[in-house]
Structure 1
Amino acid sequence: MPGGPRQRGRYHHGDLPSALVDAGLEQLAAAGSAGFSVAEVARRVGVSTAAPYRHFTDRDGFLAAVAARAARLLAVAVGEAVEAAGPDPRDRLAAAAGAYAAVVAERRVGFDVIFSPALRAVRDRELAEAGRGLMALFLDPAGEIAGEAALRLTEQVVVLAHGYATLDADGFLTTDRVTDEPTPERARRAARALIDGMR
């Protein structure tokens, strides 16, 4: 029967793996990678706790799929900001920082999860490809600006943007605001100042 227990997940959710990954993003934002629970994700979607393991090998395999989705979402937002920033690589890299801060402040998933040492052992191809695509959006303009020091500049810009994003998400930057400027714009301006101050 279409509504029977064996078909319940597919009947209600259509693409169950995608629904699980979407719920996984929400749960990751709420609990972080340390508190990430596949059982809680299953509960959110309304399926049995065994259902995710029909599509993902284990907890880390599922977490890798969630991280890959986060990387792709970040890449879309950062890519759009970089494209809109124009030809100057300094503007493009600063725009990447602002867009990154905006998404991470909202979703609480960033480079710390996407490039988590715990997930490297999973060797998930989709996560690796998504991570490389996202990183290239920072490294390409950084390479135009800093040449061989591109990786160091990228590290500094990402750390700055991630700091703005996580402090904003935790309410630190909104308690006693020194400016009404939105946090992503503050991250963009700070990144541009860092870039312009390079020697």
Structure 2
Amino acid sequence: MSTSYHHGNLPTVLREHAAALLAEQGLATFSLREVARRAGVSHAAPAHHFGSVGGLLTAVAAEGFRLLVAACTDALDAAGPDPDARFSAIGHAYVALWRTNPGHCQVMFRYDVVDYHDDDLHHWSDEAYALLATTTRAVVGEIDDRAAHRSALLWWSTVHGLTQLETSFATVSTEVAGQPEPATTDELVEEFAAMVLHGIERGRSRQRRDP
């Protein structure tokens, strides 16, 4: 049995192995014993640090949202101050997270297996949504909180749905003049962002014409 992990970093090591196991095999065969085996520690170590399978999965989900916040923050910084560019960038950041961290993403929205009352998970999921809501409000403009919330959910749901399709298919088929033409998830994110922004601009134009 390996003794290379001291007490301070073992939880991190266990989370990493748990995420890798989820990416490889999914939830169906996930077990604390297999995580411990991969980490080279006692089979009781994961339960000691996380309490249960649910506790470890909750920690992985919280880490996933932390990574999402970091990815979105970096993408927004790179996009600069333009609201339209930031709106598109946050969608691409979400897609990229699913590609680079599939294990985390498998449990981030699984209310049936994680504890959403957990402080870390609650904090990082709120931070992720706050970034999305702020970015969406910047392009939608002066609207009430309910409308802003619905707009953010629409953008999130669309991008999330595209990532789910990409999980099953390398490309998403679109119909062009009756012929199927493959489109990447990134292309569809960009096209949907353009559609939303175009619709917003049309609405503003109507408001200017009919005050």
TM-score per shorter chain, which class?
0.7 to 0.9
Q: Which has more strand, going by share of residues?
A: 2
Cα RMSD (Å): 2.7
Unaligned stretches of 5+ residues in structure 2: 174-179, 204-211
Establish whether residue 100 from structure 1 lines up as the match of residue 100 from structure 2.
Answer: no
Aligned counterparts, 1:167-178, within 5 A: 167-173=165-171, 178=182
Give a deviation string over 1:17-36, Cα, whole Å, max 9, x none: 10001111112223344553
* Structure 1 match to 2:72: 78
Give 1:169's aligned amino acid.
T
In 2 relative to 1, CA 162–190 (structure 1 residues): closer, same or farther, beyond 3 Å?
same
Shift of 1:105: 2.6
Give 1:151's aligned amino acid.
H
In 2 relative to 1, CA 157–169 (structure 1 residues): closer, same or farther, beyond 3 Å?
same
Where in structure 1 do 4 or more consecutive aligned residues deviate above 4 Å? 109-112, 119-122, 174-177
Aligned residue pairs, count: 189
Shift of 1:188: 3.4
Whether the 8 Å contact between 2:32 and 2:47 is mirrored in structure 1 is: no
* Structure 2 match to 1:139: 133
**Does the residue aligned with 2:182 lie in a helix, a strand or coil?**
coil
* Structure 2 match to 1:47: 41
TM-score, normalised with respect to structure 2: 0.76
Higher-Rg member (1/2): 2
What is the CA–CA distance in structure 2 between the aligned matches of 1:38 and 1:74, rounded to whole Å?
Answer: 25
Give a deviation string over 1:152-187, Cα, whole Å, max 9, x none: 1221211222222232232341798625xx633542
Choose which of 116, 124, 128 in structure 1 pairs with 2:118.
124
* Structure 2 match to 1:17: 11
Choose which of 143, 149, 152 in structure 2 pairs with 1:151.
149
* Structure 1 match to 2:209: none
Question: RCO (CA 8 Å, sep 6+): is it higher in 1 or 2?
Answer: 1
Give 1:70's aligned amino acid.
G
Give a deviation string over 1:37-70, Cα, whole Å, max 9, x none: 2222222212232110111121111111111111
* Structure 1 match to 2:192: 190
